[in-house]
Structure 1
């Protein structure tokens, strides 16, 4: 995804104190402003690019089996918490990746695509849903979390049918701590916003929270959109002196990937107090003028530093992070007319580069920054790439996978070189896949590597065959074939061995696209039942758990799994069962 420069800070929350004589109550709410209206002031132009990323929990452990949606495609994260869309149609100015996992709030990242065909990178940390409290929806009530309090009026909670809910309503809540180093991985979007004048601005946050309502049986509830919920949030100690007396409120618009101004909050003591009429992600933010910054980061060997976190710090010590793309480039918003500090840390958190830059009054390309890296803080690969006859490969690329994250090194005059930031305390599973684009040949080798420099000469000898998936559904034959379409094979490992599975995903690159997701419990020759099977086609969605998968041929990484499938699948529009059949030949990665 792209390495956006996201601007943040944030505000926490606190219990309403009865002794506060300026307390905002249901009968004495703060003043509010109307939400912004009109078309968002940002281009909706589509562009073809690749997107990959990592999904983790609060302890930085990978989350496997999370559903990732981007453009018209979706897939599951693998055992490394990684995902990859190789070529999809996304919005150039504001592409959005959404991650869904039971027990967590949605993780959402917005970013600017750096270039057509360029693979972007994002890292997303999911917030667990925690119960803040329960109240009688008919009577209303007061809910106090560890650092927040919320006042509900009677009968303002509705069910899915938009009728007043009569049972116990549960508030699930997550506080997004502004002082965490990984705040940029947690918060939704990239803190670009549309204000009440329909202007695109950037935000410095003094508070962020995620809110949802559930019924007795876990069903999703919502507010009526008419009555207010009053909240009070404590301002973090490091931000209290600079926190404005009145601050705009912003909610996150998941359809645009941008924050949207709606209302305001008042500073009372060490807290902000305000009201909201609907629940989502909410943010207390000051806005500031922005320019777009591009910059490229390379190591001392002139290799692009791909998928690398770049920190931008303002003079008021507020910071944000963006991630470089496959070419080591960032593209994102920074404050106009301010000098900032650009910092890069290795995977162990040690600063390896820091430099003052700016100020900029207009959109700027700051050029290339070269960074000297300790060999023990990186994985470096280099060597020759030859054909089966020993001749130098003149056109191609070496695809590199490190613990599920992909990198690419172009082959120049028969040689390749790449540097990847790592932490000196860990080893990684590395796969090198040289591709000879002239002869349409490749090879694959996998090994374990600790940080350091590695010389690996490679040969591209195996013919590259297209991956294909065909299906017959309701009289319609559909064929997916690479490279015209996207077909991916991935392995998903759970803590429970019986929950391990493989996933074949196929999607057309056109919009709207047809797509298929098929889980296999194993890739051994034989017949089994797919744990999950879904198809989206011609505006219809189909799901099933009674589709038989027959594997006729398999192999190791770089080879192909082949077979067929047949059974019944449920059409969601109407609920009828319809037959489905097809075949597949997919390269194992």
Structure 2
């Protein structure tokens, strides 16, 4: 799982959004936070627009970026459960044009969520769940204070209630997390997004100086809260790098877990390096400065107007800090940015190309909602890749509800499968041209192994892969775009560092289906260690040769003449581990007929 590098000190979260006007109004009023007069709808939900149906693909992870399996995901009336990769899929969820709310719950973790403005296509989200670790305990009817190691604290006066409003008596466990805006993982940990309703009912974007998550549990594990009329004092540390911009007083905002956005309630005072305020209930509390903004949509393309997906786009304001987001399959990302300011826009491909921006320019100032296109100039050190393929069930039907994960250079790209077809776009800047693919049939809970491939720039067609949990090794190939052939029985794979018949190392692989309808034979003469790399066809005629390459003619009627098949040996492990080979190209059969072929070999080494 990728980490975001050089995340800004002041988090100004990006809200993927479409801007729309509201028709219902109430009288203009002056905000208590010196906001300008504005038109405010009668109910806050009128900002969200009409109900629509959208698809979601998300990943739930823990604080160590490991997947969380078995988390319950809720979007409106739709629910799902994360699989072994921490991935969930919900298609056709009912959300609003400008607002969708995704909740994640699992025993042992505090409540987690993400709010988005849904876009067309598949909406991707990542949620980091924090463990429900008990920091301390207090007793109802007595005063007490619970403090974390970084100085965050909550003081109680001893009165608590259960969820049904009845009084609670006994020990109260306090679960508490401080979320620091200088932590690059904070955007994944925080609930919802930094989108809020101020005390006058107007929408605002927020700049956070720190959050505190507090959940209270009774002795039986039941959720508790403060009794009516009770208050608690909270203290939230401010990072030393932010003290210079921290105001003496700041609005407090709490996260409403029912609605999915923040609401203004009260204020905190800066005392030393701590914001101190009084609250009357608990969820997440947030010290934020509200900001006016316009919506800006950025589309990234190359010189040929081809959309660049999976790019990190950042917008930096000298006043309000930095916001960021990732381009979708159309190369687009939208969000709120400060109005009336010149802004610095950067395009990155983190982990793949390091921390250096691929493109930088100054944009704005903007006074109205705007859309711009940014062309990332051609660079000989940057390689654009597209990986396509077909994903079938074990019985060779197209997967209709699944996803594919491409792993490259410590980064993982997850994309949905549409009627068995998938396409993943990325940029790479490394000399390493090997990647791995793993696919999951979300409906049938079937997965493939992680299989290694080699880029065939700019388009890599990996052919057909199948999800069969019981299959530990297989050979799969397709000729002339026909039906995919899958063999997973009677496989023998041997490697000889010194071949008795040929100079140098060799591989021979044989497989046949139990019904004897299909057989496969592959022979290869390899280069010197580490053996991995790209090979052409070996002119196999039964005689000793100093040539290197692969031959697959015996079972498949592949003639040595006019043979333009390329083979990529991407893994050659110890006995009992995998040999991975993918191949593609054109050839003639022994009758002189032309053909195309694409295939993958994922077999366990026997010798």
Q: TM-score, normalised to structure 1's length? A: 0.61
Q: Do 1:266 and 1:274's aligned partners in 2 also have CA atoms closer than 8 Å?
A: yes
- 37-46 vs 424-433, which deviates more? 424-433
For residues 108 and 335 of structure 2, the distance between their equivalents in structure 1, rounded to whole angstroms, comes to 31
For residues 162 and 87 of structure 1, the distance between their equivalents in structure 2, rounded to whole angstroms, comes to 36
For residues 383 and 127 of structure 2, the distance between their equivalents in structure 1, rounded to whole angstroms, comes to 23
Confirm or deny that 1:9 pairs with 2:10.
yes
For residues 99 and 451 of structure 1, the distance between their equivalents in structure 2, rounded to whole angstroms, comes to 36
For residues 133 and 194 of structure 1, the distance between their equivalents in structure 2, rounded to whole angstroms, comes to 32
Aligned to 2:425: 419
Counterpart of 1:453 (choices 457, 471, 476) is 457
Counterpart of 1:340 (choices 340, 343, 347) is 343
Relative to 1, partners in 2 of residues 1:123 and 1:142: Cα closer, same or farther, differing over 3 Å?
Answer: same
Aligned to 1:362: 368
Measured after TM superposition, the shift of residue 367 of structure 1 is 2.4
Measured after TM superposition, the shift of residue 428 of structure 1 is 2.7
Q: Do 1:352 and 1:372's aligned partners in 2 also have CA atoms closer than 8 Å?
A: no
1:311-326 paired onto structure 2 within 5 Å = 311-316=314-319, 318-326=321-329
Relative to 1, partners in 2 of residues 1:48 and 1:269: Cα closer, same or farther, differing over 3 Å?
Answer: same
Counterpart of 2:172 (choices 163, 169, 173) is 169
Aligned to 1:74: 79
Measured after TM superposition, the shift of residue 455 of structure 1 is 4.1
For residues 490 and 189 of structure 1, the distance between their equivalents in structure 2, rounded to whole angstroms, comes to 37
Q: Do 2:387 and 2:462's aligned partners in 1 also have CA atoms closer than 8 Å?
A: no
Higher-Rg structure is 2
Counterpart of 1:310 (choices 303, 308, 313) is 313
Measured after TM superposition, the shift of residue 160 of structure 1 is 3.6
Measured after TM superposition, the shift of residue 141 of structure 1 is 1.1
CA RMSD of aligned residues (A): 4.1
Confirm or deny that 1:93 pairs with 2:94.
no
1:238-253 paired onto structure 2 within 5 Å = 238-253=241-256
Measured after TM superposition, the shift of residue 81 of structure 1 is 1.9
Measured after TM superposition, the shift of residue 139 of structure 1 is 1.2
- 260-269 vs 94-103, which deviates more? 94-103
Aligned to 1:229: 232
Q: Give a deviation string over 1:293-344, Cα, whole Å, max 9, x none.
A: 1121235665433344433322147323323333221122111112223334
Aligned to 1:328: 331
For residues 134 and 419 of structure 1, the distance between their equivalents in structure 2, rounded to whole angstroms, comes to 50
1:137-152 paired onto structure 2 within 5 Å = 137-146=140-149, 147-152=151-156
Measured after TM superposition, the shift of residue 95 of structure 1 is 0.9
Aligned to 2:119: 114
For residues 52 and 140 of structure 2, the distance between their equivalents in structure 1, rounded to whole angstroms, comes to 46
For residues 422 and 89 of structure 1, the distance between their equivalents in structure 2, rounded to whole angstroms, comes to 36
Confirm or deny that 1:51 pairs with 2:50.
no
For residues 417 and 290 of structure 2, the distance between their equivalents in structure 1, rounded to whole angstroms, comes to 40
Q: Give a deviation string over 1:512-535, Cα, whole Å, max 9, x none.
A: xxxxxxxxxxxxxxxxxxxxxxxx
Measured after TM superposition, the shift of residue 273 of structure 1 is 0.8
For residues 301 and 289 of structure 2, the distance between their equivalents in structure 1, rounded to whole angstroms, comes to 34
Aligned to 1:124: 127
For residues 105 and 362 of structure 2, the distance between their equivalents in structure 1, rounded to whole angstroms, comes to 38
Q: Give a deviation string over 1:406-448, Cα, whole Å, max 9, x none.
A: 547999xxx9975225796884325599xxxxxxxxxx99943
- 202-211 vs 351-360, which deviates more? 351-360
Q: Which runs of 5+ in 1 are unaligned?
A: 1-5, 12-31, 385-397, 434-443, 463-488, 492-589
Measured after TM superposition, the shift of residue 129 of structure 1 is 2.2
Aligned to 1:471: none
Q: Give a deviation string over 1:544-563, Cα, whole Å, max 9, x none.
A: xxxxxxxxxxxxxxxxxxxx
For residues 298 and 8 of structure 2, the distance between their equivalents in structure 1, rounded to whole angstroms, comes to 17
For residues 380 and 127 of structure 2, the distance between their equivalents in structure 1, rounded to whole angstroms, comes to 27
Relative to 1, partners in 2 of residues 1:456 and 1:325: Cα closer, same or farther, differing over 3 Å?
Answer: closer
Q: Do 2:416 and 2:422's aligned partners in 1 also have CA atoms closer than 8 Å?
A: no
For residues 365 and 165 of structure 2, the distance between their equivalents in structure 1, rounded to whole angstroms, comes to 51
Q: Do 1:50 and 1:85's aligned partners in 2 also have CA atoms closer than 8 Å?
A: yes
Relative to 1, partners in 2 of residues 1:448 and 1:192: Cα closer, same or farther, differing over 3 Å?
Answer: same
1:339-488 paired onto structure 2 within 5 Å = 339-348=342-351, 350-353=355-358, 354-370=360-376, 379-381=385-387, 401-402=405-406, 406-407=414-415, 419-421=425-427, 427-430=435-438, 447-449=451-453, 453=457, 455-456=459-460
For residues 346 and 357 of structure 2, the distance between their equivalents in structure 1, rounded to whole angstroms, comes to 8
Q: Give a deviation string over 1:167-189, Cα, whole Å, max 9, x none.
A: 11011011111101232222222
Q: Determine helix, strand or coil for the equivalent of 1:241.
A: helix
Relative to 1, partners in 2 of residues 1:82 and 1:311: Cα closer, same or farther, differing over 3 Å?
Answer: farther
Q: Which has the higher contact order (CA 8 A, sep 6+)?
A: 1
Measured after TM superposition, the shift of residue 382 of structure 1 is 6.4
Relative to 1, partners in 2 of residues 1:365 and 1:218: Cα closer, same or farther, differing over 3 Å?
Answer: same
Q: Do 1:423 and 1:451's aligned partners in 2 also have CA atoms closer than 8 Å?
A: no
Q: Do 2:41 and 2:47's aligned partners in 1 also have CA atoms closer than 8 Å?
A: no
Aligned to 1:202: 205
Relative to 1, partners in 2 of residues 1:230 and 1:383: Cα closer, same or farther, differing over 3 Å?
Answer: closer
Relative to 1, partners in 2 of residues 1:38 and 1:208: Cα closer, same or farther, differing over 3 Å?
Answer: farther
Measured after TM superposition, the shift of residue 257 of structure 1 is 2.3
Q: TM-score, normalised to structure 2's length? A: 0.60
